[in-house]
Amino acid sequence: MNTRWSWTLVLWGLGCSKGPGDAVGREAATHAEAHVREGLAAVGRLTNGLQAVLMGAAPTVAGSIAVPLDVARVRNRLRDLHDDRSATGRQLSLYPTWFVAAVDTDGKGIAGDQEPARDYIPGLDLRASFACVGTALAGTAGSCSGDFVTTPGAAARGYMVSVVPLRATPDGPVVGALVGAMTYGRVAKAIREALNVSTLRDHVQLSVGFWHHGRVVPSGVDNDVPAAMLVPDSLLPRIPHNLSARLSRGKAFTFTFSENQGALQWGAAIAPASTLSPGDGLMVFRAPLRQ
């Protein structure tokens, strides 16, 4: 995880005075900076940890891929991975996956872990969306990010995926790959929940999101997290307009602003991450509730 940034501060919406509110905002921004570092470390733990869980589950799924191919059998093996009576199920429950899927040697979906009526994975080209699927099919596990459409007619959603090769025998040829996908929104939710616990005694308000393809995720109409976990609409216009350009150059920075005629002082921090798509970054907004 790349954390070699030089942080800069941008005063945004506070005017030129150096009153008590400025100090509150700057302190909040400093804390937000630390939260971003924690959050990006969590992204690494989630993707690496999910990869390890999938590696342990791979032999079970690989055993269901036979000729002639029985899609229902593969799907059932994938659904069984979520059984919390098993070690794999208990481990997998710790990760905010949106889907787990098996793909064939062409990178096309065989099945996902949903019931048949909701399983749109069969036939979809996952390798075209996620470069690490192709790497896994060549024999090497990995993680990457990309956009993918799982439901016909729906907009593409950003995912962070971990992928491992599937082999019928430990030294045998690769017969496919096992993909675990977490949405950007669900990862942001997991980070915010962890920060909510660590800042419980600080009495602060937090919002966490990823900057992805020119928008904040989760926000607006995103439906992969509860509405309470969306970055509020009121915060979105406060984001500096040149954010994408800064992140593309590997720049991390903090900024401050106020709401309710200065009654609420916010500090925010944003930083890029090498494991995400170019121009993507993690942002944390923080405001003390007692000012």
- Asked if 54 and 91 count as a contact pair (C-beta separation under 8 A), the reply is no
Q: Could you report the per-residue pLDDT of 132-156, keeping only the tens digit for each?
A: 999 999 999 999 999 999 877 888 9
Q: Residue 129, Cα to own-chain centre: how many angstroms?
A: 15
Output the pLDDT for position 120.
93
pLDDT by 10-residue block (mean), the chain, 291 residues: 58 44 89 96 95 96 92 96 94 96 97 95 96 97 93 87 94 95 97 95 94 94 95 95 88 91 89 85 92 50
122 and 109 Cβ atoms separated by less than 8 Å: yes
Q: What is the Cα–Cα distance from 272 to 257, expressed in whole angstroms? A: 21
Helices 184-198 and 20-62, packing angle to 10 deg? 120
Question: pLDDT tens digits, residue range 189-235?
Answer: 999 999 999 998 999 999 999 999 899 999 999 999 999 999 999 99
Q: What are 205's strand-pairing partners?
A: 287
Which candidate, 127, 260, 279, places its Cα nearest to that of 217?
279
Return the pLDDT at 15. 36
- Please provide the distance, in angstroms rounded to a whole number, between the alpha carbons at the two ends of the chain: 35
* pLDDT score, position 245: 87
Domains for the chain: give ranges and CATH numbers. Answer: 7-43+186-288 (3.30.450.20), 52-183 (3.30.450.20)
Q: Which of 60, 102, 103, 111 is nearest to 81 (CA)?
A: 60
Strands 174-183 and 157-167 come out as antiparallel
